[in-house]
């Protein structure tokens, strides 16, 4: 798979609880609009699929209009439409795919169906980072944790992945146990900033094994037992948060750096919502600089779900010519190997 010149793209993302649209001119982001549903799902402590899908229906057209306006473009100046087709919540995905097909068909444009995980992997291709493959990528989010080698032609090869829970899930569950609400990643990060990372010892999944895989189920259970023993942590909450966060972030950073070393990579990247965590960013930056490896970390706006990253991945994805995509469907699950080719 090589990079394609699709011209100016309208990209659409609706795989979970963000309705997003962006306009890209190759590596340049002309606009990137995200309508978050976080407040809608907060009372439930997590994303409710039916609520998410219905909200996408009511907001997607306005989000697309805003993205075009912000970019100073109209549909007449768009060369192709890209959209997340998998993986994600099926109802949410269907809204984006149906909208993208309708827009592309009405204008006689090609459609580019994009794998959501490829969006996180290729987000660093965009300016100003402009990282060209090859490199080693870590994607860590609420639903996925994986290490990949990205070859010079953009092909993605899995190197390691979580064997149970995703890193983002461990962070959100930990935040909830500490009474920080949902979504809890940013709140846990802020609380941990004032804590002692060595105050409590938490288990690190698969520690001591020669593996690039991850496991986070044990650290969640350990936090549950700790809080049962000490009760409400009160003034010790920052220490608990810092120690817990370290047990999640350190193996992510260490195995990413080990993967880069094994692959002989001279560059690495991180993506996904967990890549917004300040401790992970610091650990990866420090380790990469010490090893003489270039590190590319997107701005936080490109770490969480957004449409600009979908546009970036589209430049590494084949287009489907008009009107051959009318039977194109959304798919909730990832393909074998975890990323669509």
Domains of the chain plus CATH, in order, are: 8-123+305-314 (3.30.420.40), 132-297 (3.30.420.40)
Give the tokens for residue 22: 């962006």
Residue 40 is predicted with a pLDDT of 86
Cα 164 to Cα 314: distance, rounded to the nearest angstrom:
29
211-234 average pLDDT score: 96
What DSSP line would sit under 35-52, residue for residue? EE-HHHHGGGTS--HHHH
**CA-wise closest residue to 288 among 317, 261, 263, 326:** 261
Q: Tell me: the pLDDT tens digits for 66-85?
A: 999 999 999 999 999 999 99
Please determine, for residue 128, whether its predicted confidence score (pLDDT) is greater than 60: yes
**CA-wise closest residue to 122 among 13, 230, 17, 3:** 3
Cα 171 to Cα 183: distance, rounded to the nearest angstrom:
9
What pTM was computed for the model? 0.94
33-61 average pLDDT score: 91
Residue 341 is predicted with a pLDDT of 62
Report the chain's C-alpha Rg in angstroms.
20
What DSSP line would sit under 188-199, residue for residue? HHHHHTTS-TTS
Q: What is the percentage of the chain residues whose pLDDT exceeds 70?
A: 99
Please determine, for residue 7, whether its predicted confidence score (pLDDT) is greater than 90: yes
């Amino acid at each position: 798979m090589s990079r394609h010149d699709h011209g100016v793209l309208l990209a659409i993302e609706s795989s979970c609880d963000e309705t997003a649209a962006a306009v890209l001119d190759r590596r340049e982001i002309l606009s990137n609009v995200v309508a978050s549903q976080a407040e809608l799902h907060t009372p439930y402590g997590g994303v409710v699929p039916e609520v998410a899908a219905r909200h996408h229906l009511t907001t997607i057209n306005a989000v697309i209009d805003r993205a075009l306006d912000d970019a100073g473009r109209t549909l007449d100046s768009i060369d192709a439409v890209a959209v997340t087709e998998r993986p994600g919540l099926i109802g949410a995905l269907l809204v984006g795919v149906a909208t993208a097909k309708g827009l592309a068909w009405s204008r006689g444009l090609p459609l580019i169906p994009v794998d959501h995980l490829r969006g996180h992997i290729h987000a660093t291709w965009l300016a100003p980072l402009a990282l060209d493959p090859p490199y080693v990528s870590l994607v860590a989010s609420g639903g996925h944790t994986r290490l990949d080698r990205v070859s010079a032609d953009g092909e993605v090869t899995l190197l390691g992945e979580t064997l149970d829970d995703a890193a983002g899930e461990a962070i959100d569950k930990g935040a909830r146990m500490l009474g920080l609400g949902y979504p809890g990643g940013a709140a846990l990060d802020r609380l941990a900033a004032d804590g002692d990372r060595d105050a409590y010892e938490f288990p690190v999944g698969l520690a001591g094994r020669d593996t690039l895989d991850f496991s986070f189920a044990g650290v969640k259970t350990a936090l549950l037992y700790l809080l049962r023993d000490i009760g409400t942590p009160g003034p010790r909450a920052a220490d608990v948060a810092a120690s817990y966060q370290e047990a999640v972030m350190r193996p992510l950073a260490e195995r990413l750096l080990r993967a880069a070393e094994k692959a002989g990579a001279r560059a690495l990247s991180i993506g996904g919502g967990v890549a917004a965590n300040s401790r992970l960013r610091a650990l990866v930056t420090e380790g990469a600089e010490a090893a003489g490896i270039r590190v590319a970390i997107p701005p936080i706006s490109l770490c969480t779900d957004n449409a600009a990253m979908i546009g970036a991945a589209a430049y590494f994805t084949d287009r489907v010519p008009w009107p051959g995509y009318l039977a194109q469907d959304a798919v909730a699950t990832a393909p074998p190997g975890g990323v669509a080719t």
